[in-house]
Structure 1
Amino acid sequence: MGAGHDAVAGELAERLRSRGHTVRTEDVLALLPSGVGAALRAGYRGVVRRVPGLYGWVYAAFLAPGPERAPDGQRGAGGAELTGGVAVPRPGSAPLAALAERPLTALVDRWQPDAVVSTFHLSAQVTGRLRERGTLRVPSVVTVVDFAVHRGWLHQGNDVYLCLTEEAARTAEAATGGTAEATGPVVPARFAEAAEGGGHPGRWRAEFERLAPGRPVVLLSAGAWGVGSGLPGTARELAARGFCPVLLCGRDERLRRRASGLPGVVALGWTEDVEHLMAAAHALVDNAAGQTAAQALAAGLPVVGYRPLPGHGAAGLRAMTDAGVSELARDRRELALILGRVTDPGPVRERRVALGRDLFRADAARRITELTLAGVRAP
């Protein structure tokens, strides 16, 4: 849906090609009947931007893991609700997955790949269903890009799950009865290299020093679509508390124009130079626990969650906090206090940076290659 899934797919493809493999990347939404995928993407974008609370309800109904409480207070196993003593399965993405099965099968039959790799949860449902029925005869590897593994990712038909954290791997393994392992985020090496002095972060450092000399630089992420609650107000508050807030507005030009007029705030549109921008910063304030947060961890930036997007954003930031690689601020005062701790050179910052980098345990592309060559289906 957003840029994060595409970024992971692109990075995996690049790594696999560098190992001598041939890769074809397909958008699962493009495999749906004409107009359906575009409508889904437009609808999702409109909901998260304008009525995020509605998306939170959709997430709870369709994707959130675990059982929910029925009106009569009873619970059912496997996420089913109990109404009047009768287990009613919660809705899922099976109807959408079914629509993509035939196009994906035709594509696999034509191209004859050695494996199919999913970086989006709807794709994982399609491959799981096909693999379970034996229609897909090659290994299906799911590369989970979310810190919190929701139900949309999980299907017992898939061969193996590559997850961001050990807890996420345990969740996937318990839910599917299959194999899962923690390989860590899939982020280009240039983010870690820039943080270690590679490239040219000096341009950004000089710019921030000119605009706010001596102030810690804090990036505020709004994702590719510029989505978030109260972003200009948060940036203005941080500037008043002695930080240099840099609001990453993505492709939302209207948000960039609004924030540009705020005193002490730097508002940036879409930029391809994120690794050097992060190398010149001191922390990231994030609301989605997506690919920007993973890139920040690779770049050695402490991540602080604040005003998370309902649904996967809130769940992901809680999972990051549980893993020790982030903190979740409840209000602006607490946000400033946490940022003060993690931007100040010393043991607190060093520990957070080290915990973040410890997530990068293995090369997912190498594991995909090894698993495909082994050709052994998980029990």
Structure 2
Amino acid sequence: MPYLDSPAGAGPARVAIVSASVGAGHDGAAAELARRLTARGVAVDRFDFLDLLPARLGTLLGGTYHQLLTHAPWAYQRIYATTERPGRGRVSNAVLRAAEHRALRALRPGTRAVVATYPLAGQVLGALRRDGRLTVPVLTYLTDFSVHPLWVAPGVDTHLALHPIPAGQAEACGAHRVLTRGPVVDPRFGPATPQARRAARTRFGLPPHGPLALLVAGSWGVGPVEQAAARIRACGAAVPVVVCGRNQALADRLRAAGTGHVFGWVDDMPGLMHAADVLVQNAGGLTSLEAFASGLPVASYGCIPGHGRTNAAALDAAGLATWIRHADDLGPVLTGLLDGPAGSAQRAAGLALFARGDADGPAAAILDAARRPTPGRGGVTVRVRPERVPAAPVTPAVTAAASGPGAAAVPVRAGRAQRRTALVLAAALATTLLAGPDSTEDAVARGGTHLLHDLDL
């Protein structure tokens, strides 16, 4: 049966971006890339990778990731380390093959390039590109400062890195063509004038004088946030201002413990960063990039397992954020970042990330790929069988504000036995999809059994 082809010269450029509503960082990067491409006259389709998984596995995967980070972070660390080994098993291959079919059906005719901002999306798109079913360039935008091997997939034409350190890590993992094009953040993030600083503090009800340490823990509010807030308060270097994301229980506990400035989900993060003097974070994701753009020095403390720790190490090596490994160092490091040369150096390094400008940034690289055939990689047409073209794309990716604990399929408030069972299944599912065992039984053995032995609920 013939294919529907969309030649490179026909109509306005169209780009598809595949993200994932897992936390807020992947969607945040996708949203800003989409905004910049749209401003250049490009038609952008956004998709949530979790919607491309069959049988509601995407919802379950997002929920289990949240559950593991909240209740069994050491189990997530174990799975994260396991997935550094190459190869996938029969179950994970079957699941990702199903996602390949759904992704291909979702792409609209006329699409000139496809961008992944989530590692498993890159794996699926790379497979489609490698075997010729997808004949337009595929790019992966690396949202983190450290690169897990899952970020690098055979078949992906170009990996776009924030900085030379993740670029080098991607190349070490075998990435085909890596470009360092800098970060993308909302243009509202920028250094504050003294007037903007005073206005922001008034607007948020914060002290008009004295240093403020903005403590963040992602959209889910995970990690040892309560301990970090207490340590900041006790060391006296700054007044803690805590953002809990959508974790209302965490916010309630912090207020009950005497932390005076606690916020849930904040829509005006640029304003809150204008009010602050230093950022303390535990994941090294999008919020860190927003702080760099705002001219804030950054400290990594109480980092979550997996990417939180590898990002902290990469940011520290880049001279962008000090990784505080011991509680006794928190006060001296914050003091140095607030008033010393270390803080000045970090502010300069953070702002320098954005010196390239949008004209030579990631969106420009994507548009360049969409406009040019890729030599030897199949041209720039999307080939989709006519009967498989949907009337509308897969449900668009939810915004960062819509992602959070509410998406979890496993109940957060469960009894001890129910939570124990849920976490075992969470580890089994995550190990199946990510680590790639040859059967679900193997997943339970490799992931769930560790929980059965180690979990003390």
TM-score normalised according to structure 2 size: 0.72
Partner letter of residue 267 of structure 1? V
The residue aligned with 1:7 is: 28
Cα distance change on mapping 1:317 and 1:94 into 2, 3 Å:
farther
Question: Quick one: distance in 2 between partners of 1:51 and 1:164?
Answer: 30
**Cα deviation code 1:127-182 (max 9, x no counterpart):** 11111111110000110101111111111210001011112112223433521111
**Which of residues 239, 247, 252 is equivalent to 2:242?**
247
Alpha-carbon distance in structure 1 between the residues aligned to 2:375 and 2:169? 19
Question: Which position in structure 2 is the counterpart of 1:60?
Answer: 81
Q: Give the alignment of 1:177-216 within 5 angstroms.
A: 177-192=175-190, 195-197=191-193, 200-206=196-202, 212=207, 214-216=209-211
Q: Is the 8 A contact 2:182 2:353 kept in 1?
A: yes
Instruction: Name structure 2 gaps, 5 residues minimum.
Output: 1-21, 378-457
Where does residue 342 of structure 1 map in the other structure? 337
Shift of 1:375: 2.4
SS at match of 2:34: helix
Distance 2:195 2:209 in 1: 23
- Please report how far the alpha carbon of residue 235 of structure 1 lies from its aligned counterpart in structure 2 after TM superposition: 1.1
How many equivalent residue pairs?
350
Counterpart contact for 2:216–2:244, Cα < 8 Å: yes
Classify the secondary structure of the residue corresponding to 2:45: coil
Residue 147 of structure 2: SS of its match in structure 1?
A: coil
Whether the aligned pair in 1 keeps the contact of 2:291 and 2:298 (CA below 8 Å) is: yes
1:12 deviates by 0.7
Q: Offset at 1:377?
A: 4.6
For residue 28 of structure 1, what is the aligned residue in structure 2?
Answer: 49
Q: 1:305 aligns with which of 297, 300, 307?
A: 300
- Residues 242-321 of structure 1: matches in 2 within 5 Å? 242=236, 243-263=238-258, 265-321=260-316
Distance 1:186 1:22 in 2: 19
The alpha-carbon distance between structure 1 residues 143 and 211, as it changes in their structure 2 partners (threshold 3 A), is closer
Would the alpha carbon gap of residues 102 and 199 (structure 1) be closer, same or farther in structure 2, given more than 3 Å must change? farther
2: distance between equivalents of 1:288 and 1:373?
35
Give the TM-score normalised by structure 1: 0.87
Counterpart contact for 1:131–1:140, Cα < 8 Å: yes
1:241 Cα deviation after fit: 2.4
Superposition pairs for residues 36-75 of structure 1, below 5 Å? 36-62=57-83, 64=84
RCO comparison, higher one (Cα < 8 Å, 6+): 2
Give the fraction of aligned pairs with identical amino acids, expressed as a percent: 36
Q: Distance in 2 between matches of 1:36 and 1:199?
A: 49
Q: Distance in 2 between matches of 1:107 and 1:12?
A: 19
Q: Relative to structure 2, which stretch is displaced further, 89-98 or 49-58?
A: 89-98
Quick one: distance in 1 between partners of 2:376 and 2:265? 42
Gaps of 5+ in 1: 65-78, 81-88
Instruction: Name the Cα RMSD after superposition.
Output: 2.2
